[in-house]
Structure 1
Amino acid sequence: MMVLILADDSKARYDSLKSWLCTETNIPSQCVQLSTLRGRPQDNGRNRNFGSIVLKIVLQMNCKMGGALWKVHIPMKRTMIVGYDLYHDSTLRGKTIGACVATMDPEYTVFYSQTRPHENPTELGTNLGFFIRRALHRYFIKNNNTLPDRIFLYRDGVGDGQIPYVRDQEVTLVQQACEEAVTKARANHKIMLAFVIVTKKVNMRIFKGKPDSVLSNPDPGTVVDTVVTRPERYDFYLVPQFVNQGTVTPVCYNVIFDDTSFTPDQHQKVSI
């Protein structure tokens, strides 16, 4: 870990340092502005908040070194939770970056991540299968030569028109990656898979209230899985956060493949 004390808030300097450290040296870093630590003349050069400031900085450093500040109790064992998203950048001349992260420990606080560029949908599916292979290999090493019993994969960045391709191609590639990992590890079980498409950009809004009363945003964690959902889909809406102003936007979860034998309630609790 490298700690850098910056003389000012120059964005150009900060961006160049972070880019070099992340892409060229692979060294985790923590930047701190000198003004954040400096004391005030009226306090005889002392910073009254020095202790709390340093604590917040150390907490950030702990996370960057792989530590966990808090955790959520998830009773599932031998399960790997995977998230996959896409990043589109016009400066990359048409290329799209696929980013994936997977849990590596029973408490879901240690993660393995990787990014890979691709230029067409075929590469996208191939990259996802490649990542699952790498993630399972890392999981195998970190868990005393054992593989997970199940994988929950949350896939973002999918439009309605792309769902058939994802179901027919990407799900198959992920299953093949799991089968190869089981064969290579000489394990005697099948890795079960739940493939869930996550859509954050939805137009629907959900409110709570009684007739003739003021409507308000629903509580975080609210799940709606009837009336507004599609009968041909295994989907539900989840309110992910609390907002102070405006209306909260729910997130749509569409389970396009599942052989985990989990009930809808269990899927919803895992997603929360």
Structure 2
Amino acid sequence: MRYGILTQCIKGETIKKMNPATASNILLKINAKLNGVNHMLQNRLSCFERPCMIVGADVTHPSPDATSIPSAAAVAASLDIQAFRYAMEYRLQSPRAEIIEDLQNIMKNHLINYYKKNGQAKPEKIIMFRDGVSDGQFALVLNEELMAMRRACTSLQPDYKPKITFLVVQKRHHTRFFPSRDIADGRNGNVPAGTIVDTEITHPTELDFYLVSHASIQGTSRPTKYHLLWDDSDFSTDELEALTYHLCHMFSRCTRSVSYPAPTYYAHLGAFRARVYIGDSDINLDKLPQEQERRKISDEITKNWPMFFV
């Protein structure tokens, strides 16, 4: 934050019990931080044939009894056509506020970054994976955040109107899947990774689906639910499901698929980092922009090593 020095912290006990797997995982993080590419998709999806920005967003809230701690919103957006490298911006905002209040400026900055990194090519499609939204907040989030994204685009150029797809990612539900005996995967007897359910138990008119993208190491695997709120690109259900599943393999920290898409994971990491920056210090909720400025990440870091947060 202060000196613009890139770091990788490792606990002493980790050094003592270092083994090849641990070393490999640490090097995955270091390589990503140094602008390296750990892995990419072998089969390019159709939506990546033209400039496309993948965005993940999340808001974390303090505990109910913490009245003087702000919420932290983080937005991660892809910088390259492989959708491996991401930039992240965070904002402190009013406690309990679920809407990302400064999304217009955040998206404007991300679009400028993408434009500079890709030979002055603007994204023709923006695909948002929004975490942390309950069913009752769908309309509110759609009205506020979708319009903020549109305003960010037109603020750069009045006639710039990329196609926007807006999905909500939900993990807090009680749906579980159990396989028939002949397809059970692993010793825990879970459904195989890549299992999708998009009929019978889903919304009768709107598009939503469940995806088990990871192989659960312990216990019953929890499917992630995805609900489509808006789509200008007219994606087919299969295209959206394939894109979502592929993005679950793009997380830089490991070589396995994870339980939800990499951009959402990065937004979660960004919001957690904002919580660390707050620490135990007293925050003046009436002067959050000034508090944000005091915790500003060095421009040298965000410009040269955008994936510093992994």
**Kindly tell me: are residues 58 and 94 of structure 1, through their superposed partners in 2, closer, same or farther at Cα, counting changes over 3 Å?**
closer
Contact 2:99-2:141 within 8 A present in 1 as well: no
**Kindly tell me: are residues 93 and 226 of structure 1, through their superposed partners in 2, closer, same or farther at Cα, counting changes over 3 Å?**
same
How many equivalent pairs are there? 236
Q: 1:250 aligns with which of 199, 223, 232?
A: 223
Please state how far the C-alpha of 1:32 moved relative to its aligned partner. Answer: 4.6
Bigger drift between 146-155 and 162-171 goes to 162-171
SS of structure 2 residue aligned to 1:117 = strand
Please state how far the C-alpha of 1:122 moved relative to its aligned partner. Answer: 7.2
Q: How does 1:206-221 map to 2 (within 5 A)?
A: 206-209=177-180, 216-221=189-194
SS of structure 2 residue aligned to 1:207 = coil
Cα distance in 1, alignment partners of residues 107 and 116 from structure 2: 14
Q: How does 1:148-163 map to 2 (within 5 A)?
A: 148-163=123-138
State the identity %: 28
Give the equivalent residue in structure 2 for 1:18. none
Q: Given the alignment of the two structures, is residue 147 of structure 1 paired with residue 118 of structure 2, yes or no?
A: no
Q: 1:68 aligns with which of 15, 37, 44?
A: 37
**TM-score, normalised relative to structure 2:** 0.67
Give the gaps of 5 or more residues in structure 1: 1-22, 39-46
Q: 1:103 aligns with which of 52, 70, 78?
A: 78
Higher relative contact order (CA 8 A, sep 6+): 2
Q: Given the alignment of the two structures, is residue 178 of structure 1 paired with residue 153 of structure 2, yes or no?
A: yes
Give the equivalent residue in structure 1 for 2:275. none
**TM-score, normalised relative to structure 1:** 0.76
Cα distance in 2, alignment partners of residues 135 and 269 from structure 1: 25
Please state how far the C-alpha of 1:163 moved relative to its aligned partner. Answer: 0.9
- Structure number with the higher strand fraction is 1
Provide, for residues 83-140 of structure 1, a one-character-per-residue CA deviation record: whole Å limited to 9, x for no partner. Answer: 0011223468241100111111111122111110110677934322221111101111
Aligned Cα RMSD in Å? 3.0
Cα distance in 2, alignment partners of residues 220 and 55 from structure 1: 23
Q: Given the alignment of the two structures, is residue 25 of structure 1 paired with residue 8 of structure 2, yes or no?
A: no
Give the gaps of 5 or more residues in structure 2: 246-310
Cα distance in 2, alignment partners of residues 237 and 123 from structure 1: 23
Bigger drift between 49-58 and 26-35 goes to 49-58
Please state how far the C-alpha of 1:242 moved relative to its aligned partner. Answer: 0.9
Which of the pair has more CA radius of gyration?
1
Q: How does 1:10-159 map to 2 (within 5 A)?
A: 23-32=1-10, 57-73=26-42, 74-75=44-45, 76-77=48-49, 78-90=51-63, 93-119=68-94, 124-159=99-134
Please state how far the C-alpha of 1:169 moved relative to its aligned partner. Answer: 1.6
SS of structure 1 residue aligned to 2:150 = helix
Q: How does 1:252-271 map to 2 (within 5 A)?
A: 252-271=225-244
Contact 2:76-2:86 within 8 A present in 1 as well: yes
Cα distance in 1, alignment partners of residues 193 and 118 from structure 2: 33
